[in-house]
Structure 1
Amino acid sequence: MASRITELVLDCTDPERLATFWGEVLGYEVLGRGDDWAEIGPPDKRSTLLFLRNPDRKLQKLRLHIDVTATDREQDAELERLLALGATPVDISQGEVSWHVLADPEGNEFCLLSGRADP
């Protein structure tokens, strides 16, 4: 038997804000919330994102980040949608690549890959 990832936990200063942002990015629904946390996930709840309030601000590039791929549009259209949701472009000196490095509203880096993923 093996393990599987059931939750990815992100410390943040505003759990509700990040849950809203990532819920829109991924098409996830809010599964629960409290004063210091919010959890989102797909309807099957197989793997969720849990946002926990932490007063510490992000100070450096993350050692672990999320990669996303559009399911129903081309990369350029998805980039525009993510920027409209509050993502910002990030330059980490990656050079000429096929993906876009972005940051969520709290500055956590993530990548928008090219191509399409199955919904």
Structure 2
Amino acid sequence: MACRISELVLDCRDPQRLAEFWCEVLGFVVLGTEDDGSIEIGPPEGAGGLQPTLVLSPTADPKAGKLPLHIDVNATDRDQEAELRRLLALGARPADVGQTGEESWHCLADPEGNEFCLLRTRLD
């Protein structure tokens, strides 16, 4: 028997703001909140499925450099350029992590500067 990823935890200064951003990006909903201010978001059908949830955990520690792990996303109902425009309108911004400009993906940052990539392939 193998393991699977059930949750991704992201430390952040403003869990509410990032929950709103990532819910819009991923089509997620808030699944719960904890006394420490953490907010768990996930697919509307809830936790436990094949798609991991995202736990936004409050911290006062500043982000130090490029994240060692980042999220990749794919559009599901539009092409990459239309999805890029949507993500930028939601508050994402271009991020430079040393790419050459020849990549097939766009490197972006969420409102707190956490890098993520918008890949070219559209997923159904």
Is the shorter-chain TM-score for this pair beyond 0.5, marking a shared fold? yes
Structure 1: 5+ residue runs without aligned partners?
none
The C-alpha deviation readout for 1:16-67, integer Å capped at 9, x for no partner, is 1111100100000110124511110012322210001010111200110000
Q: TM-score, length-normalised on structure 1?
A: 0.95
Q: Describe the SS at the equivalent of 2:62.
A: coil
**Equivalent in the alignment of 2:8:** 8
Size of the alignment, in residue pairs? Answer: 118
Alpha-carbon shift at residue 115 of structure 1 (Å): 1.8
Q: Percent identity?
A: 65
Aligned AA (1:4): R
Could you say which residue in structure 1 is the equivalent of 2:40? 39
SS in 1 for 2:123: coil
Distance 2:27 2:66 in 1: 26
The runs of at least 4 consecutive aligned structure 1 residues that moved more than 3 Å come to: none
Gaps of 5+ in 2: none
Q: Distance in 1 between matches of 2:82 and 2:104?
A: 15
What TM-score do you get using the length of structure 2 for normalisation? 0.91
